Each structure stands twice: as C-alpha cells, then as structure tokens.
Amino acid sequence: MQRLKGTYRIAAAVVVVLVPVLAAGAFQAPYDFEHVPIAYTTSAPSDAISRLQSRIDSGETRLQFDQEHGYLPALLNELRIPRTSQSLVFSKTSLQLFLISPETPRAIYFSDDLYIGSVQSSPILEIASMDPKLGAVFYTLPQKESAKPQFQREFLACLLCHDTPITNEVPGLMALSVLTDRDGNAIPSAGTAPMSDRTPFKERFGGWYVTGTHGAQRTWGNLSVAATKETIGNAKTYVKRLDLEPGANVTSLSTRFNTKPYLTSHSDLVAQLVMTHQTRIHNLLTRTRFDVAAAAGNQERIRQAVEPLVRGMLFVWEAGFEEPVSGTTTFAEDFAKVGPRDHKGRSLRELDLNKRLLRYPLSYLVYSDQFDALQPPAKEQFFRRVREILTGEDASKDFSNLSEVDRKAILEILVDTKPEFASVTKAE
C-alpha cells in the first residue's frame, strides 16, 4: 500500500484539516475553545461522522479497506463525496508539512458539509465535519485495516489554527492563498489571505494546483518561485511583477508531478471556487449560532448577529469573473443536479461561471443541516431580511449586486423550495 510505506509515523493529535494559520500571533490564548454556552469540547457531536461511527459500531456499515488508498475510497462512497471535488494543495501549510510538496500535494475532497484530507504516506486521514450546532468538528481516521475503524475527535491541535480570527473566532475552516518556493514552503512576506468569493480572482489559489480555463484572467495557482533574497526579503514588490502566465489555463498536471497515486489527475477550478465559497459560509453560520446563543433573546443583538450571514449568503461584494471559467471534470454538472428545484425547474445550485459563481446568487447552504439548526429567532430574522431585500423594501446600494431579475427568481425559488421561508414571510 503506497500510502503507508516507510517508517514515518505521526501522532493524531498534531493533524489539522485544510490550511492552518501561518503566524503564531493568530493563535488564541489562553486556548479557551469551550464557547459557552455552546460547550464545544464537552458536547457530543451529531454530525455525519458521528452518525457513521454509530453505523460502523452497530455493524450496519462496513468500510472496505483499499490496499493503495486505505479507507479513502470507501469513505468518499459512504459519505457521497464526489471524487471530482479533488483539490490538490502543494504549499507546506499543514502540520504534516514534511509530507507535502509540489511533488506530493495534499488532496482535499468535499461535499456540502464534509471535508476529507489525504496526504501521501500518512497513516491517517484528516476530516472536518460540519456539526449542525457545534460548527466544524475535526477527526482523524487511522489508515490501518480494522473490522470497525474508529474516528478520533481532535481538539487542541486543530483548534489552535481552526478557531482564530481567520475563522471568525469559531471552530471553522479556511483555505489560504500563499506564494511558495520550489519546495512548497510558504513565503509569508508575500502576504496570505483566506479565499472566498470576495477574493479578487488574481489573488486566489496560491499554493494550489488548479486545472481549468479562465481566459485572460490570472491567478497564483500552479506557481512556485525560487527562494532568493528578492523573493523572501522583498516579496510584495516581487509579486507585483511576478509572471503568472506559466500557471494559467492548465488542463493537465501530468508534467508537474506524478498524478497516479491520486484518485483523479485533476484539481478542478470550479470545485475550488465552490469550496472557497462554502467554507466562509460555514464559518458565518457557526458565528451566527454562537452569537445568537449569547444574545439571550436580545432582539438588537440577534439582528446584528444575523446581518453578516445575510450579506454573505447573498454574495454582497462578490469579486466575480471578467471572463468565463470552467473546470476539467464533471464537477460543475454533478453539483447542479442535486437540487432542490422550484416549479420552473430552477435551483440555487445552478452555476453561472460567466460573471459570477451562482446563476441565482443566494447560497445553496440555506438547505444545509447547519442552517436548519439555527435558533428560530435567527432564522426568522434571516428570512425577514432576505424578504426585505428581494422585494425591494431594502433597496440600499449594499445589495446592488442583485438585479430585479435575480431578486424575483430567488424569491420564487425560496417560496417553492424552502417551506419555512414561505411560512415566516407569509405570516408577516
């Protein structure tokens, strides 16, 4: 089994999922991750992984062990995570940095509420699962065959990076764009930023492989630079004149590293655009729930807590695209098929990819378990604000990204596909 060859071992307690903060100054002190009254570390999770563990323990589900990829294929199949979601990260921005390089990138697979990280030669899989009430819950799964494999919930080592200002100071997710040297070492002086739909296209995907086309637009994807005095000591100036052409419109990675150890040979651009949108929304949902719990019924505090979520899910200040973008797999088509759809056949999962991410710019995570688990006052405030915006009652410039056609379509889709929205707005 290639993944487990060699004598290297890593303690599960030092593994993080996705991309950690590069500066120690971002760590919380004195490491209070309980988030009263949420009780994060002492509450039993009810996420997809905890439910899967229950099925494994009862004998209802058995994960097949693959000699080459361990439990990864079975886990993706069981949790319905598409292989086309594979994104490859070559920056050494994980605590498994000594296993990650441009020749051996880390693979991330995701669905609406799950993220699986796989690193070559590592004896564990990294998992982040969105719990409806707790936010991101982190696990590792040993890549060792067992009749009943056991997921291990992780706390301090993951939360040191995944509960910081970058994640809205809640247990959350991040995907950073960083410039790296030829070995994949991040060059912090060049600047780092968590990616989302608000990130200018040119500043995305540093330290990531990207397969897809995007016209004359350029990104930091697929690029690394020589570690010189100029690139390290004067990185911000260097970046301004960095030649981005070699990383542009890449449709095959076969000449850059050996893709055979991976489940696919792609790192689909559209999948990465979707992932970097939803990681931010997950954090906003968690922050909203935590703040509403702390509001103790105070209506003004609830309003303030919900407003960032309203703006995030309506794509306020989305950076958008100057030209159409496309990936190299069927991810875009498969993603759009999931639904639900209104009586006209429209869905919030339909992608635009010409000027923006979604055809109807309201996040599809409005259908997620995490959204549905928001406290009733939070959902009522959210639906009330969305109705005000979509009907034109709130015509402020902040929502000028939404055309009249957009507003009408989103409103009709919500009424048809989100009964709770229809009942709350009708009652008013």
- Torsion over CA: 257, 264, 334, 207 (sign): negative
Domain containing residue 419: 297-427
- Position 336 in a domain: yes
d(CA 86, CA 269): 10
- Position 222 in a domain: no
Amino acid 420: pLDDT: 92
Confidence band (pLDDT; 50, 70, 90) for 14? Answer: very low
Q: What is the mean pLDDT of residues 300-327?
A: 97
Residue 196 has pLDDT above 60, yes or no: yes
Q: Please enumerate, as own/partner, the contacts of 396-403 that have beta carbons within 8 Å and a separation of 24 or more.
A: 398/311, 398/316, 399/314, 399/316, 401/314, 401/315, 401/316, 401/317, 401/318, 401/361, 402/314, 402/361
- Position 58 in a domain: no
Amino acid 153: pLDDT: 95
Amino acid 427: pLDDT: 56
220-240 burial: b if 16+ Cβ within 10 Å, else e: bbbbbbeeeeebbeebeebbe
Average pLDDT, the chain: 90
What's the whole-model pTM score? 0.91
d(CA 423, CA 366): 15
d(CA 376, CA 374): 6
Residue 373 has pLDDT above 70, yes or no: yes
Among 30-39, 41-50, 79-88, 192-201, where is mean pLDDT lowest? 30-39
Number of domains in the chain: 1
Query: Cβ contacts of residue 312 below 8 Å, gap of 6+?
Result: 280, 281, 284, 363
Amino acid 52: pLDDT: 98
- Position 49 in a domain: no
- Position 378 in a domain: yes
- Position 350 in a domain: yes
**DSSP assignment of 197-235:** TTS-GGG--TTEE-BSB-TT---STT--B---HHHHHTH
Amino acid 9: pLDDT: 31
- Position 402 in a domain: yes
Nearest residue to 312 (alpha-carbon basis) of 404, 208, 382, 411: 382
Amino acid 398: pLDDT: 93
Amino acid 193: pLDDT: 80
User: Would you give the DSSP letter of residue 365?
Assistant: G
d(CA 288, CA 170): 10
- Position 204 in a domain: no
